[in-house]
Structure 1
């Protein structure tokens, strides 16, 4: 009976038309795109801002990582609690307008404190986006389609980061770094209106009909923390994606500065050549990973999705090391292109697995807890630690200090692989027990 109900949820999904579902997923993906574009733009402007405001790598690391992450991650928890009870679409719309305005305010910064406060504003706004979005997508798409849908949503990471680099670098080259913040930030306010008008709020549990009747409780925030911690597979998934994010955020935040310092590229070359090429690899890896994950789950069970990520990250590791060890710029970029093809597979399947493991009325809270850990450690510690290491290594490596700081971060990859492998083992045991 449960199987029939789940199949019904996969195909019919009463309450939301297929067209409305697609429009909502598109708007949520574009919102996520704006989120990453607004946070990534800082990376291509680092060298200009550093020179203009006379900042150190450590200060830049704090602005790019810790200051943003602390508010983004911690406020995500109460926002998620609210999203499990109130209209998620409206929360996302208000948050989008807030962080877009704060991004534009970065262009008015005249010193470290001004820039710090504006970036805190961006973090506060963006806290209201991802947890409600994950919850809505989990309600719009059933378990057999969820990894693919969340992989599409996750394109916002790759495309948003690329577009932040492309637009930020191009605008800053011709009009200065302040204008780049204005042009990137203000259109998000118009998008916030579109989300409010055209996205739909799906019924909770719509895509998991078999569970809806049984789950009529009103869990507390503490219940969400405790339930996630008690789930062994979820614990390892959160640990794996956190370490992966720490490495990834370090590179996306410092990548353009690394290309400029170690390979001699300028902002316009990075914006027009490097970022688009790398975006292709990221999109291919993200979409391909999501589709492959759905197929593997259909044939072998959900545990195969976590194993797929472990294999992909292992295959990517030597090419990621090559990015930092090769002296030739274009060979290094080619290696990174290959690394991205393999390592970008993790986002959609990871969040889909976490949403699938979460009780229905804890989905937004589980997403927020995941994002809390990811961003406090990954986004908060990653870029900040690289900035500190770069300053520490400067005595030994001079202008190449950033290269070896990033290489140090990449060396944590096997730790993430181990957690994904352990998550796969735990999921397989759960599947056997349920059979």
Structure 2
């Protein structure tokens, strides 16, 4: 048996981190509030459009501006977390930063809303890369899929329950303002809670090779340098996943789903917002399914299992999106069924691609890897799709935009992921060899 096959015959072992599920719940709460405030503008955009007198393209501008600024501030927050502390950055950037959400609720015109929402997004860009890095330190390779799935699933499920409630703000005078005020205030309170109760386990805490080593030894390689960050671009699996992120047009569902049903099929905002509940439930179930599928696939076929499940999810989404967006079913309940299925197919993704990124990068570079993956490449994709959908939607209609983006491009994305099968196994083995070597050096230094 070759060295590579020996290294990938079983999934990497892990060290159970004390209190990891409690810490995970705090991180999930932070992501929940951030995602709720970020989605509030898109779900209530029909009201904002009426209140401020803007066109559909304004939604694309708002979303794109938030993602573009995140492409710059996301890596900055990761760097700040390395120099200061991950906990401190999360408290400030994703907790107390909610004050800008409160301020956005007072916007008197679109320019003010754009500026304040962009500042808000600049802070929230810290959440995803740092929280995902922390999950990698709390959970090892055999349970990361479930942990990521639970966080993303719980966030989606609670957001789904809140979604129709947000839609009911349409019946309140200037209801979108009350939404921003409420969520912003809650975010500030959550930041205080994070400061009081969260405990950072330290980088590499869940890795079997670091068992018995003190935190200082585990974090000896944690200092970020330009050479280390650039080395990420030599990891073939990561590069392919970055390109795939640029093809991930399913992001449009969360941004334009409600306004799509309002504009294309004539539903009211209140009624269209109902689909957010089945979409969120579907997403929740998809993340759970994806989490268990990721861990199961890793055990059954460490070399190819995760890639196969991830690829299948892209094809499944394209099929469901075709039937869920291209036909008028005349009743919101039927659209709800298809939005639930689209949510399930989309929800599988984070439970697979996040653990895959963790598996091919060393602990000290996971934050930087997720800054690239989410803050930069996902931001570029989201900004491009949002701008394109916003302006093209005014010209050709969102139904045509959804056909090309959600059906055709997602099929292309699924085919593209075929390129992952060979390099993924090799990159996982390389990381495990590196961690083994570090443990040997650390033990020799102690002796």
Indicate the residue corresponding to 1:290 in structure 2.
291
1:306-337 Cα offsets, whole Å, 9 max, x none, are: 21010122123121011221111444432332
Unpaired runs of at least 5, structure 1? 394-400
Indicate the residue corresponding to 2:409 in structure 1.
412
Report the 3-state secondary structure (helix = DSSP H, G, I; strand = E; otherwise coil) of the residue aligned with 1:278: helix
Aligned pairs (5 A) from 1:18-417: 20-63=19-62, 65-155=63-153, 158-159=156-157, 161-163=159-161, 165-175=163-173, 176-210=175-209, 216-217=220-221, 220-244=224-248, 247-271=249-273, 273-301=274-302, 303-330=304-331, 331-393=334-396, 401-410=397-406, 411-417=408-414
Output the CA distance in 2 between the equivalents of 1:157 and 1:375. 19
Q: TM-score, normalised by structure 2?
A: 0.86
Verify the 8 A CA contact 1:313 1:413 in the aligned structure 2.
yes
- Compute the displacement of 1:90 (Å): 1.6
Q: TM-score, normalised by structure 1?
A: 0.88
Output the CA distance in 2 between the equivalents of 1:159 and 1:224. 37
More divergent stretch after superposition (190-199 vs 162-171):
162-171
More divergent stretch after superposition (211-220 vs 299-308):
211-220
Output the CA distance in 2 between the equivalents of 1:216 and 1:11. 19
1:113-144 Cα offsets, whole Å, 9 max, x none, are: 10101111211110221222112111111111
Structure 1 312/249 Cα, relative in aligned 2: closer, same or farther at 3 Å?
Answer: closer
Pairwise CA RMSD: 2.6
- Compute the displacement of 1:264 (Å): 2.5
Output the CA distance in 1 between the equivalents of 2:12 and 2:243. 34
Structure 1 329/374 Cα, relative in aligned 2: closer, same or farther at 3 Å?
Answer: farther
Indicate the residue corresponding to 2:419 in structure 1.
422
1:271-295 Cα offsets, whole Å, 9 max, x none, are: 4x32222211111011111111101
Indicate the residue corresponding to 2:3 in structure 1.
none
Verify the 8 A CA contact 1:83 1:364 in the aligned structure 2.
no
Verify the 8 A CA contact 2:129 2:368 in the aligned structure 1.
yes
1:76-125 Cα offsets, whole Å, 9 max, x none, are: 11211222343211211111234422222221111111010111121111
Output the CA distance in 2 between the equivalents of 1:258 and 1:142. 40
Output the CA distance in 1 between the equivalents of 2:367 and 2:61. 28
- Comparing both structures, which one devotes a greater share of its residues to helix? 1
Report the 3-state secondary structure (helix = DSSP H, G, I; strand = E; otherwise coil) of the residue aligned with 2:172: helix
Unpaired runs of at least 5, structure 2? 1-5, 434-447
Output the CA distance in 1 between the equivalents of 2:227 and 2:83. 15
- Compute the displacement of 1:371 (Å): 1.3
Output the CA distance in 2 between the equivalents of 1:214 and 1:160. 36
Verify the 8 A CA contact 2:15 2:206 in the aligned structure 1.
no
Indicate the residue corresponding to 2:444 in structure 1.
none
Verify the 8 A CA contact 1:84 1:364 in the aligned structure 2.
no
Indicate the residue corresponding to 1:398 in structure 2.
none
Structure 1 50/432 Cα, relative in aligned 2: closer, same or farther at 3 Å?
Answer: closer
Q: How many residues align?
A: 416
Verify the 8 A CA contact 1:29 1:154 in the aligned structure 2.
yes
